[in-house]
Amino acid sequence: MSLPDFPPLLGALARENPELARPVRRLHESGDELLLQEVASLAAQPLASGLGRVALLVHLFGEIEDPGSIRQGSRETCTAAIAQMMVARLSPREYVRLVAGLASPEGVAALASGDRIRRVPGSEEVDDSGRTSVSRLVQAALMDFANGRDAYDHATDTSSRPHGPAYRGLYSPQADRLLEAAMARRYDTWEVADLNRDEAMERIAEAVGREMPVPVAIQLEGSRHAVVVHAVDPHFVHVLNPWGRRTQFERRLFPQRLLRLSLPVFGPRSPVPEWARPPERKIVGVPTLHPAFPRECPGCGRRALNSVAIGAGPAGSLLIPACNICSSAPSSPARFLPWIAGAATILMIVLIATSSSPRMIASATALLGLAVPVWIAAALSRSSPVRLVSAREEPPLLEFTAPSASWLSEFARLNPGSMKNFLERW
């Protein structure tokens, strides 16, 4: 097969490897010279140890030509896989550039937003996950980026954090972070319940009609699974499934599967639906024993960097994200403040009552004026920022109250009616 006008190394690889020749020719005939140059640059660059050049290129061509072939394999990386699918489908040159960066010896690439992602150690090696070399690199790096300060382990497919157990998959805020960075645009995330199923289906059809795929979480084969809706017709909803295949569902039944969707924002941010607005009451109840919790502190609304444990009856013990101040972590020296301030208060009172020196009495009174507020503040800081009002098992119900109205609103939005939120569980 003659392969004229190709960059030298890419042409040589195609001539020596028949599995590369056809996709290289198809790319050349497509007329996308910029994409061809990106692939040629990848073919010529140094690669990280453990990566095979021909296998990497064959896998890359396959995923560019058919993003629906991208697989998560045996890993819990469906959200990363759908972000990978969307980039490959909507911006193939961007996809090649990401792969080139992750496959380089440095292992660094930039997402469309400018955020940097890094190759996760071990993802360059062949494993038993059933994924291509490209998907191993990309999905592991996207998982590690999405989980923020947590660390993704490629070998165990888990993310570990300073406080709390390791977990698989991604929480909703992490999925949002990944999607918006990968696509460099804003998304409105909806939790879907009976009140908004029809409207959610209308919004999906509107978005895909404008050639924007919509990431959704659906109930599939007894579990929560992330897919990408890429087409809607009068009878069927067509999705890219990171199990490595294209799937279609009857349109009239698809809304019953919906759990969550991320809608691309085309203009001004969509108005907040009625069901997602802040509750007027101070107590929020949800019909599940395993609720999703916001990543903000329930005490003050600041970003949660710690957690607080509360007993929840039939639910066992729940770890709720909270800020360092409101959580009053047991390892913090602040736990001694109430005792120190209390002892100082008692000492000052004794000095005032027993001393005959006016100067000593005045000094003790002044110190007492400082010690009492410190004692009160320290004692209050040790109280839990969220309180469980009630819990029952049949039917499942947890009721919480918290000082932060925005936390209560987000808590209600994250738990609209599903019995269990497995991927959201803290």
pLDDT > 50? residue 274: no
Clarify whether residues 71 and 108 are in a common domain: yes
Domain span at 129: 45-170
Q: How far is 301 from 100, CA to CA, in rounded Å?
A: 40
For residue range 186-213, list pLDDT tens digits in order.
887 788 888 888 889 999 999 999 888 9
18 located within any domain = no
Pair 297, 420 in one domain: yes
**pLDDT given at position 119:** 96
Tokens 């444990």 sit on residue: 309
- Domain co-membership, 302 together with 340: no
* Same domain flag for 371 and 388: no
Residue 10 included in any domain: no
Q: Tens digit of pLDDT for each residue in 80-131?
A: 999 999 999 988 999 999 999 999 999 999 998 888 999 999 999 999 999 9
* Residue 175 domain-assigned (yes or no): no
Task: Tell me if 365 is assigned to some domain.
Answer: yes
Structure tokens given for 415 = 């738990």
The model's pTM = 0.62
CATH classification at residue 226: 3.90.70.50
Do 284 and 337 share a domain, yes or no? no
Indicate the angle between helix axes 172-183 and 133-146, nearest 10 degrees.
120
Structural domain includes residue 73:
yes
In a domain, 284, yes or no: yes
State whether 416 and 292 are in the same domain. Answer: yes
Please say whether the beta carbons of 183 and 265 come within 8 A: no
Residues 87 and 149 in one domain: yes
User: Minimum mean pLDDT among 70-84, 127-141, 174-188, 207-221: which range?
Assistant: 174-188
Please tell me the predicted confidence (pLDDT) of residue 82: 94
- 351 with 223, same domain: the answer is no
Residues 50 and 157 in one domain: yes
Beta-bridge partners for 225: 218
- Among the three residues 112, 143, 170, which one is the final residue of a domain in this structure? 170
Q: Are residues 255 and 390 in the same domain?
A: no
In a domain, residue 178? The reply is no
- For residues 143 and 86, membership in a common domain is answered with yes
pLDDT by residue (tens digit) across 385-406?
A: 788 888 877 677 788 888 877 7
Band the pLDDT of 27: cuts 50, 70, 90. confident
Distance (Å, rounded) from C-alpha 110 to C-alpha 115?
A: 6
End of a domain among 274, 290, 313? 274
Q: How many domains does the chain have?
A: 4
* 394 lies in the same domain as 373: no
Of 362, 381, 400, the residue at which a domain comes to its end is 381
